[in-house]
Amino acid sequence: MRQTFDETTTPAFGREHAPLIRAAMAAQGLDGFVIPHEDEHQNEYLPAANDRLAWATGFTGSAGAAVLLKDKAAIFVDGRYALQVRDQVDTDLFEVRDLVEGGVPAYLQSEARAGWTIGYDPKLHSPEALERLKSAAAKAGAALKPVTPNPLDAAWGAARPAQPQAPVSPHPTQYAGEDSAAKRERVGKSLAEMGADAALITSPASAAWLFNIRGGDVIRSPLPLSQAILNADGSARLFLDPAKVTPDLPAWLGNGVTLETTEALPGALGDLAGQKVLVDPGTSSAWFFEALEKAGAKVVRAADPTALPRACKNAVEVEGARQAHIRDGAALVRFLRWVATDATETLPDETEVVRKLEGFRDATGALKDLSFDTIAGAASNGAIVHYRPTERLTKRLQRGSLLLVDSGAQYLDGTTDVTRTVAIGTPSQEMRERFTLVLRGHLALARIRFPAGTTGSALDVLARAPLWARGLDFDHGTGHGVGSYLGVHEGPQRISKLPNSVALRPGMIVSNEPGYYKEGGYGIRIENLQVVTQPAEIAGGERPMLGFETLTLAPLDRALIVTEMLTAEEHAQIDAYHARVLATVGPQVEPDVRAWLEKASAPL
Amino acid sequence: MRQTFDETTTPAFGREHAPLIRAAMAAQGLDGFVIPHEDEHQNEYLPAANDRLAWATGFTGSAGAAVLLKDKAAIFVDGRYALQVRDQVDTDLFEVRDLVEGGVPAYLQSEARAGWTIGYDPKLHSPEALERLKSAAAKAGAALKPVTPNPLDAAWGAARPAQPQAPVSPHPTQYAGEDSAAKRERVGKSLAEMGADAALITSPASAAWLFNIRGGDVIRSPLPLSQAILNADGSARLFLDPAKVTPDLPAWLGNGVTLETTEALPGALGDLAGQKVLVDPGTSSAWFFEALEKAGAKVVRAADPTALPRACKNAVEVEGARQAHIRDGAALVRFLRWVATDATETLPDETEVVRKLEGFRDATGALKDLSFDTIAGAASNGAIVHYRPTERLTKRLQRGSLLLVDSGAQYLDGTTDVTRTVAIGTPSQEMRERFTLVLRGHLALARIRFPAGTTGSALDVLARAPLWARGLDFDHGTGHGVGSYLGVHEGPQRISKLPNSVALRPGMIVSNEPGYYKEGGYGIRIENLQVVTQPAEIAGGERPMLGFETLTLAPLDRALIVTEMLTAEEHAQIDAYHARVLATVGPQVEPDVRAWLEKASAPL
């Protein structure tokens, strides 16, 4: 689980590997090949064996794509990775393009030539993504052609790591809060109501939730790579590499679930002939749609039926999240004290900061994994939104600057994700003012009450308005869903400028993480997780309102808060939060840490 | 132009007219007929001759629909009209249903019987609306059938008023700011860029803007009912009843525009054979699509190409709006003084309030029309969102309660729309607190700065957050677009909970009108118009931000503001606004009015 600081790729990867891929393309009669970041599980998190984009280009970000044409190539990343891509990728070989503005379709449309054949692997693209590629290629007079095996895998060959085989074990009901049979019956009923006979579940997180199982095939997220068929009557078939099955698993799955090998899946799709089968066109590969249609099943395109039930945590999961955050809060408080005292003296480098925080979390005795690689960004490294310290890039802390630490943990009872920005030594007035603007947005989103039906898109402006008023903004989403001992990024809800039609519902856990980044200077982000509360009456009001309960418990750096910029309501909100941190986490920590926390969480 | 207080319909309309329509249905072999509010121009504003829904049911609201089946009937209205529909319509005859939740499609799906034929008039439905109806009817096993003439028009017969023939005149460039040739060239180019040869323009407001003409076929809005074909080269054909053509018009339209009769339109569609013709599936009737396709044209479904250019007012139009609002502000200040003094003494009824306000506007010498019938709601009538005073419903002002007045004017240089809520005598603490909550939302939306690309949907929460925090809300949109001496409701932008993908752009005029309504008690609404400003640098900031310039100039009732509930920023914002009202409108009014305004706009 230990975080490492090495680099698994170099910019030479492109020069070394692109010719191999192009040779395999030529052998298949292809003029181009599309390399998405996503793997056959359409997952953000990849095992090394499936990180094709990294092998082809050197780029290790969590989202992106590349197109290799026979005479040129491009890599596509979003704004978060604009700096990183230039550091990791040979830009003589790969033109850097924006993943969102135009993206791969626009490139195919302008760069493919009439009569060309562009290959794609149907297991690596959702039908929705594929439609856009096909339409763009057609405008250029080029054709897209499915290729199995794809030329990249052919070129990778023996050098490719093996598929992971981490053990899959039960996730006990004391943490899950609802047994799998009840979940399957509930989701099965929703299938029946939609007129579907079954659903094909291809997202590993969905299988993990539905069967109350956890695995370890992917770093930082206890996902069991697997697929499943759920029938409307609640019975199911789970497809899993037998090497991953732990002894307790078959009994845990119970009578309603048959455990089968991954190889049995194509045959099982054939059993669905004549049935109406729900598949999610946003998260399942095009390959599944084609296979089902060939098998004679009637495909119903609809959202993964487990996504919304999984996002709405039950009472046991919410209570687990509270406990996880108290435990994590104690580790954070110990860490923040170390930063404010020892580290401000010795000015260690970022890797030491990461190791120290991991050590405090490890010492809780409950840490299963980090929930993602810790981002510790000192000074200008803090301005790189998706920075990860490496031996090459690491900086020492600097007095008079900021340290941004975005980190999280996986515990059996919950997943955490928290960002604190702290001053090392004396911060500048500009740093303090901009921190306070970010904080005001964060507070507005934390205290908002809202009626049922409100989406995260509608609330996003609350976190940005104070920055906007000063001509500032940040170029990432404001909040993402978080799983329960599952992925730290989870849909379908989101708090973002982008439209999202999913209303926030009780039990959903979302992050609240506005920021500000001064390129070459410093970065600020303040992130708490918060859970959507049940609609409740408000004294003197007429309509019940939902709201947020903040889960994350760690003090905000008082040295960075300009109290004169706060309204009375904001001032009181910070004091109340700090009082809660002290009351909840204070009893968990040693006397000297507690003494520090008392000062750190004193009223402003 | 005078506002009247009579009622043009009675609840007996349904009993009198439905049997006539049903007889005509039977003669056409129909088992049902769909009656939309929209007419053949797909317009919110209807001439009496086209208000089919009112004739069939008695309901006179600005949005709605009815379905007449052979054995039952329903009327569909949105939340704004929930009370009014029960007052105007015989609910023994027409079941009242929600227009938005389920609406007509859900009714057809559940109430139509297999084998039934439901008639519709293809001139009265957009293709988008029709798709939903057809799909719903199909689920019930019923078929939709186009009928011309429709059974309602057949039943209405000689009793139906004549089509309006108001004169159509030039709208001078000193108000329009851009001559028609330039507009036509600009929009024509955008057609060419989309690969279209021509556009069919069926919205009267679009024709009015494109040709710089104004008419009077519809009350409260200077619309010329007409259609046009705009070619990509900027030339155009305008179809207009010759009785409406004023002597100056042909020369004003110039060489690039041929003026033709309405009867020539079907033939002109035939001339488009083989061409790519843009038509808006949201605002043009299905009939046009069918006619174009029959004529051999290739229909390109896309938004009306004049909608966005029309919404973004040019510098002359924005300056016109400022002048119109200063003039209108002077009339409003005279009116508000009368309410605060004479009317609080004599307690007149709502119709007198309406007449008085109209008189002040008339006295400006520039009033062309009201921009809609003034809503003056005393006490509990203020809680009826789309109330219009009538002799039957009017109330006298009551001391210790509120008066809500929502009104607007049409001037050559601009259209106004303003709501003020004032206390008559001493308001209750609850009234003051709720007014202040509404005001805080209004202020937040007035002062927001935002980056390019931000939509009105993203900003809506700003106007609601203070109410939500107290368990309150309002059931209407927060803001609508406003035309320039055109419709007081204009798209495509909107500030609303509903998703809307159109970004706010410089020159767009929108209303900012949060409210609170206590059924049976009182109503509160605060409405100003505001124009989106150009992106501008902010001192100390990094990114240019758009914002709003408030156009409406009239004091807010200081007796209703609880200053202790305001932040320092809000307090200063109100004082600055009041100072601006005094500085701008003060010089326009008589000394005694000015003396009153000085007190009414004094710092809090």
pLDDT digits (tens, 9 = 90+) for A17-67: 999 999 999 999 999 999 999 999 888 788 999 999 999 999 999 899 999
Q: What is the Cα–Cα distance from A76 to A63, expressed in whole angstroms?
A: 9
Whether complex ipTM tops 0.85: yes
CA–CA distance from B602 to each of A211, B437, B580, B598 (Å)?
67, 21, 11, 6
Contact of B255 with chain A, judged by CB distance below 8 Å, is answered with no
| B570 contacts in chain A (CB < 8 Å) | none
Q: Do A211 and A180 meet the contact criterion of CB atoms below 8 Å apart?
A: yes
CA A258 to chain centre: 30
Instruction: Please tell me the predicted confidence (pLDDT) of residue B282.
Output: 87
Q: How close B50 comes to chain A (CA, Å)?
A: 36
- How close does chain A come to B448, measured CA to CA in Å? 7
**E-assigned strands of A281-344?**
298-301
Of the residues A101, A445, A461, A565, the best mutation for testing chain B's interface (the one with the most B CB atoms within 10 Å of its CB) is: A461
| Rg of chain B (C-alpha set) | 25
Cβ–Cβ gap B470/A497 under 8 Å: no
Section B168-193 average pLDDT: 97
Q: Do B457 and A538 touch (CB under 8 A)?
A: no
Residues 6+ apart with CB under 8 A from A539: B471
Contacts of A543 in chain B (CB under 8 A): 471-473
Q: Which of A339, A337, A336 is nearest to A348 (CA)?
A: A339
CA B72 – CA B66 distance, rounded (Å)? 11
Cβ contacts of A545 on chain B, cutoff 8 Å:
468-469, 471
What is the pTM for the complete model shown?
0.94
A vs B, Cβ pairs < 8 A, gives: 98
Q: Looking at the predicted structure, is the pLDDT value of residue B169 above 90? A: yes
For chain B, the straight-line distance linking the first and the last C-alpha, in angstroms and rounded, comes to 38
Pick A468's closest partner by Cβ from B450, B499, B569.
Answer: B450
What would you report as the CA-atom Rg of chain A, rounded to the nearest whole angstrom? 25
List Cα–Cα distances, B283 to A265, B44, B236, B262, B377, in angstroms.
49, 11, 19, 18, 32
Q: Residue A455 phi/psi, 5° resolution?
A: -100, 165
Q: Which amino acid does the sequence have at A36?
A: P
Q: Report how far apart, in Å, the C-alpha atoms of A560 and of each of A332, A401, A423, A474, A571 are.
A: 18, 11, 7, 19, 14
For residue A195, pLDDT over 70 is answered with: yes
Q: What are the distances in angstroms from CA B73 to CA B51, B57, B142, B156?
A: 18, 10, 16, 18
CB distance A462–B461 less than 8 Å?
yes
Q: For the residues A309-320, what does the mean pLDDT come to?
A: 98
User: Is the Cβ of A538 closer than 8 Å to some Cβ of chain B?
Assistant: yes
* Residue carrying structure tokens 């939340």: B79
State the pLDDT confidence band at B346, using cuts at 50, 70 and 90: very high
Taking contacts as CB-CB distances below 8 angstroms, the residues of chain B near A449 are 468-469, 471
Asked if B457's CB is within 8 angstroms of A499's CB, the reply is yes
Q: Answer yes or no: do A459 and B457 touch at CB < 8 A.
A: no
The Cα A323–Cα B10 span in angstroms is 64
pLDDT tens profile B231-247? 999 999 999 999 999 99
Query: Which of B428, B431, B454, B470 has the most A C-beta neighbours within 10 Å, making it the best mutation to test the interface with A?
Result: B470
Question: Which residues in chain B have Cβ-Cβ distances shorter than 8 Å to A472?
Answer: 541-543
Which of chain A's residues have a Cβ under 8 Å away from the Cβ of B471?
Answer: 449, 537-545
Closest residue, chain A, to B453 (C-alpha): A497
Interfacial B residues in 113-152 facing A (CB < 8 Å): none
Give the model's pLDDT for residue A385: 86
Q: What is the pLDDT of residues B145-163, one digit of tens each?
A: 999 999 999 999 999 999 9
**B62-107: per-residue pLDDT in tens?**
899 999 999 999 999 988 888 889 999 999 999 999 998 889 999 9
Report angle CA A454, A460, A465 to the nearest 5 degrees: 130
- Judged against a pLDDT cut of 90, whether residue B405 lies above it is answered with yes
Q: Which two tokens stand for residue B137?
A: 């009817």
In angstroms, the separation between the Cα of residue A10 and the nearest Cα of chain B is: 34
Question: Are β-strands A143-146 and A117-120 bridged in parallel, bridged antiparallel, or unpaired?
Answer: parallel
Q: In chain A, what residues touch B495 (CB-CB under 8 Å)?
A: none
**What tens digit of pLDDT does each residue of A543-565 get?**
999 999 999 999 999 999 999 99
Three-state SS for B65?
A: strand
CB atoms B499 and A497 under 8 Å:
no
Q: Does A540 touch chain B (CB under 8 A)?
A: yes
Above 90 in pLDDT, residue A361?
yes
A-contacting residues in B 425-444 (Cβ below 8 Å): 444
**Considering CB atoms only, which of A444, A468, A541 is closest to B472?**
A541
Question: Burial code of B361-388, b = ≥16 C-beta within 10 A, e = fewer?
Answer: bbebebbebbbbbbbbbbbbbbbbbbbb
Q: Do B473 and A543 touch (CB under 8 A)?
A: yes
Q: Give chain A's count of helices (H) and strands (E).
A: 20, 27
Backbone angles phi, psi at A582, to 5 degrees: -65, -45
pLDDT surpassing 70 at residue A500: yes
Would you place residue A603 in the very low, low, confident or very high pLDDT band (cuts 50, 70, 90)? Answer: very high
Contact B82, B59 (CB under 8 A): no
Query: How close does chain B come to A469, measured CA to CA in Å?
Result: 5
Nearest by CB: B461 against A453, A458, A541: A458
CA separation for the pair A460, B490 (Å, rounded): 26
**Residue A533 contacts by C-beta under 8 Å, 6 or more apart in sequence?**
A506, A546, A547, A548, A549
Instruction: Considering only the beta carbons, identify the residue of B501, B542, B569 that sits closest to A471.
Output: B542
Asked if pLDDT for residue A225 goes beyond 90, the answer is yes
Backbone φ and ψ for B228, nearest 5 degrees, come out as -150, 155
Residue A135, helix vs strand vs coil: helix
Task: Determine, for residues B471 and A465 on separate chains, whether the beta-carbon distance falls below 8 Å.
Answer: no
The whole-angstrom separation of Cα B581 and Cα B599 is 12
pLDDT digits 0-9 by tens, B521-566: 999 999 999 999 999 999 999 999 999 999 999 999 999 999 999 9
The answer to whether the CB atoms of B468 and A458 lie below 8 A apart is no
The pLDDT of residue A1: 61
Omega of the bond prior to A492 within 30 degrees of 0, cis?
Answer: yes
Question: Which chain B residue shows the shortest CA-CA distance from A451?
Answer: B468
* Mean pLDDT (chain A, rounded): 96
Q: Which residues of chain B are within 8 Å of residue A461 when distances are taken between CB atoms?
A: 448, 450, 454, 458-459, 461-462
CB atoms within 10 A of CB A414: 29
Separation of alpha carbons B352 and B253, rounded Å? 42
Which tens digit of pLDDT belongs to each residue from B278-335?
999 988 999 999 999 999 999 999 999 999 999 999 999 999 999 999 999 999 999 9
pLDDT band at B519 (very low <50, low <70, confident <90, very high): very high
Distance in Å, alpha carbon of A216 to nearest chain B alpha carbon: 39
Residues of B within 8 A of A497 (CB-CB) are 453-454, 458
Chain-chain contact of B461 with A465 (C-beta, under 8 angstroms) = no
Within 453-482 of B, beta carbons closer than 8 Å to A belong to 453-454, 457-462, 465, 468-473
- Which range is most confident: A517-531, B34-48, B384-398? A517-531
Establish whether the linkage from the previous residue to A149 is cis, with ω within 30° of 0.
yes
Q: Which residues of B are less than 8 Å from A468 in CB distance?
A: 448-451, 545
* Cβ within 8 Å of A, B 566-585: 567-569
CB contact set of A252 (below 8 Å; sequence gap of 6+):
A170, A212, A213
pLDDT value of residue A2: 87
Chain A nearest-CA residue for B535? A471
A509, A322 contact by CB (below 8 A): no
B447 touches chain A (CB under 8 A): yes
CB contact under 8 A, B541 and A472: yes
Q: What is the longest distance spanned by two Cα atoms in chain B?
A: 74
Using an 8 Å CB-CB cutoff, list chain A residues near B538: 469-471
**Nearest chain B alpha carbon to A519:** B542
What pLDDT does residue B1 have? 61
* Position A284 pLDDT exceeds 80: yes
User: Are B462 and A465 within 8 A, CB to CB?
Assistant: yes
- Cβ count within 10 A of residue B26: 12
Residues of A in contact with B444 (CB under 8 A): 465
**Which residues are CB-neighbours of B22 under 8 A, at least 6 positions away?**
B68, B70
- Residue-level pLDDT at B80: 80
For strand A276-279 and strand A198-201, is the pairing parallel, antiparallel, or unpaired?
parallel
CA of B564: which chain A residue's CA is closest? A568
Q: Are A167 and A139 in contact (CB under 8 A)?
A: no
Q: In chain B, what residues touch A101 (CB-CB under 8 Å)?
A: none
Sorted by sequence, the CB contacts under 8 Å of residue B561 that are 6+ apart come out as B432, B435, B436, B439, B574, B604
Q: Mind telling me how many Å the CA of A431 is from chain B's nearest CA? A: 13
Residue A370 near residue A395 (C-beta atoms within 8 A): no
DSSP at B343:
I
Q: How far is A115 from chain B (nearest CA, A)?
A: 23
pLDDT value, residue A130: 92
